[in-house]
Chain A
């Protein structure tokens, strides 16, 4: 592995981060040079120098191998998370080293959990940087590099196979370069459209942009302590809910739907399964809340339950209600959705609806084979027969995902946290969702959680974001043949 080449690509990603730091400093400057200006400018200078340094020595290199690609992707995530802490640390306030690291990782992995007790105390420049980390992380740092870099061919193909879920890659059926442009245009388009819709619904430009960044990246950082509940506006909630659901879809499918392709979101099995899960869970929660008399009317129960269901299944994590107070059925359904999450090819985390759907089909296949031992039956997704290796990997992924969550829960509960907090903390971090239950509910934050648990949960955020094996491979690279 050529470490110098890896450093060059990571350097380019650092420059991209630096550009967003400069943009955030510009926001500070517009807002009467608020207290975020100097930390953001200093972070910009430091990150720029870090980014430029490898470019001085290492020549442009188009051909990178799989090992290098993994190192670039994982290295880029980790480095972005490290430089992402600079503005927070330099600003001070509530940010200690663990809090800044937690906030940065939560931002770049699009988890959206916050360790801040008072988000509104942050200057606007820093709030913008916080949302930018979501936006940058959402589209995938490497994805940016692929568009920014005028490189060709194999470089892009190798990198995308790491960054995207392997199943999403199967689904695209476009050349990698085209895939990148499709992803970026859908991503940008959704961001712009949501900003305009939120502005029309009554949000200020600043809040609209920040919330659009958080929604499209399925992150969940808000500029308000009470998240979306602060606005108490049905129009805003509906807009955000629609965009959350859209952002949980395969971006390639959104594009296919827009250009009138046959394989669109209405015909695709996975997106139908995803919508069905959302609707069934949402309605079950509605009835449960209505029956328990949690809210005044059926309509109110429907309003809060659909929004929270969308926020959890898409791994965005915005809040309009305190879900910790909900019924056991509602909490259990939301916990399940934390595992399943949205579709591969979106910016959401978790196991992904694709794998769950495939697992359900595999279970059906097992039953059918027991009934008809000599029958030749194959699992098909959208009419395409699936290879055994794909099915085995999906099953293996689900098993290891659950095992990691169990192990994590044991460790977190050993620190003194209650069972619900420990379990939901690990599950929400691993699924990049954001809020959990217990002391980290949708209306709470991680400010009371110990520094050890904060840092520990960032490992799960990174594991979830890099689909578990992405992070593992970095440490096993020495033995990788």
Chain B
């Protein structure tokens, strides 16, 4: 193999290693960024959904208060609209709650109890008074809002546990880079050593040999290993030196 090919191959190895490490790290970093984004989105979504459920519960509560205490029956439509909005918010929560099914189940149970109580109010509106509102309804409403808040806290805990996997992704993104960098540094040292051993030192020896020949007429006697251009150059210099010696003798 000639010198050019050897050096090219050496650089190719180094380049391939760095490129490969770059590719792997980029891939892992993109994965990390995608996972971080998903995690943040799911956290924001769960907070938004919980907030929506709490808001509409509050609306329902206010509407009912207006109807019972002030006798304002027009709040009936507001209550119905809030009920539909609650259903939608709960549906949204269900679509993203694979990992928090337990929390969602408690909301479903609390909601069913809550609406059972509300339905009884609408069937016999005259019988329900402020006392009913404070005692029966109040505890059911509290149970519903507590279930929603618990769901919100549990969702954040799940997000936190998922965040630990980000550490693993980060590790996987960094480690290939570190290892490859170490290997690349090692290869650079080996590359420099090979250049020194096989190219720089022989050229220095040949220069020294030629200097001795030209300045002091010492015989040219340099040994170079291998069969590349430098070894051939050394052979040719030896021939040239022998030729010059013969000429001088003549």
Chain A interfacial positions (CB closer than 8 Å to B): 3-4, 7, 42, 45-46, 49-50, 52-54, 56-59, 86, 89-90, 92
Contact = CB atoms under 8 A, between A and B. Distances in A.
B185 to A, nearest CB: 12
A46 B226 contact: no
A41 to B, nearest CB: 10
B171 interface: yes
Contacts of B17: 45-46, 49
Given A46-B180, A89-B179, A57 B172 contact: no
A49 B179 CA distance: 13
A45 B185 CA distance: 16
B202 interface: no
Contact of A56 (B1, B168, B171, B186): B1
Contacts of B20: 42, 45
Given A4-B197, A92-B168, A49 B176 contact: no
Interface string B15-29: 011001000100000
B190 A53 contact: yes
A54 B190 contact: yes
A53, A59, A89, A90: residue with the most chain B Cβ atoms closer than 10 Å: A53
A50 B9 contact: no
B165 to A, nearest CB: 11
Contacts of A56: 1, 6, 9-10, 13
B121 interface: no
B168 A57 contact: no
Interface of B: 1, 6, 9-10, 13, 16-17, 20, 24, 168, 171-172, 175-176, 179-180, 183, 186-187, 190-191, 193-194, 197-198, 225-226
Nearest to A57: B194
Nearest to B227: A59
A46 B179 contact: yes
A59 B13 CA distance: 18
Contacts of A89: 175, 179
Contacts of A58: 194
A59 B24 CA distance: 33
B122 to A, nearest CB: 56
Where chain B touches its partner, the secondary structure class is helix
Given A4-B194, A56-B1, A57-B6, A86 B187 contact: no
B184 to A, nearest CB: 9
A49 B24 contact: no
Contacts of B225: 59
A448 to B, nearest CB: 22
Contacts of B10: 53, 56-57
A53 B13 contact: yes
Give the secondary structure class of A's interface: helix
Given A49-B13, A90-B176, 16 more contacts: A3-B193, A3-B197, A4-B193, A45-B20, A46-B17, A46-B179, A46-B180, A50-B186, A53-B10, A56-B1, A57-B6, A57-B197, A58-B194, A90-B172, A92-B168, A92-B171
Nearest to A47: B183
A49 B19 CA distance: 13
Contacts of B193: 3-4
Nearest to A52: B13
The 3 A-B pairs with the shortest beta carbon distances in the complex, nearest first, are A57-B194, A56-B9, A49-B13
Contacts of B168: 92
Nearest to A11: B190
Contacts of A90: 172, 175-176, 179
A53 B187 contact: yes
Nearest to A59: B226
Identify which of A53, A57, A86 gathers the most chain B CB atoms within 10 Å of its CB. Answer: A57
Contacts of A54: 190, 194
14 contacts: A42-B20, A49-B187, A50-B186, A53-B190, A56-B9, A57-B6, A57-B10, A57-B194, A57-B198, A59-B225, A86-B179, A90-B172, A90-B175, A92-B171
B6 to A, nearest CB: 6
B200 to A, nearest CB: 13
B114 to A, nearest CB: 45
Q: Which among A3, A56, A90 has the greatest number of chain B C-beta atoms within 10 A?
A: A56
A92 B24 CA distance: 15
Contacts of A4: 193-194, 197-198
A235 B87 CA distance: 63
Contacts of A53: 10, 13, 187, 190-191
A404 B142 CA distance: 72
A59 B194 CA distance: 12
A440 B197 CA distance: 48
Contacts of A86: 179
Nearest to B27: A38
Contacts of B9: 56
Contacts of B198: 4, 57
A199 to B, nearest CB: 35
A54 B9 CA distance: 11
A86 B176 CA distance: 9
